[in-house]
Amino acid sequence: MNTTELEARRARIDRIDSALVRLVAARQRQVAVIATLKTGPDSARDPVRIAAILTRVQSAARRCGLDEAIAIPVWRELLERSAESQKTLIACAEKTDPST
């Protein structure tokens, strides 16, 4: 692979990374909204929902040619960080809510 092609491929990866960041940011905003609908920090993790998401991601990865060894750990981490974020948001909301 010549230098010009390498630079072009890397530029393409950079554009894909930018798109991924925008999508993950949009997901994070939804995670925050959902946190307002949950009843307490313990409700941040839903094992049934997590299993369903991972199953859906695994299937989508297979269809798209994404290595499951990449997809599953990435989504596990995304789900874990999302749950932690929700837990923090819920706890903060409970502290500021005079009815709790």
Structural domain boundaries of the chain? 3-96
The predicted structure's pLDDT at residue 94 = 85
What tokens does 19 get? Answer: 């798109």
pLDDT of res. 80 = 97
Low-confidence ranges of the chain (pLDDT < 70): 1, 98-100
pTM: 0.87
Backbone angles phi, psi at 27, to 5 degrees: -65, -45
CATH 3.40.50.970 fits 3-96, yes or no: no
Contact 82, 34 (CB under 8 A): no
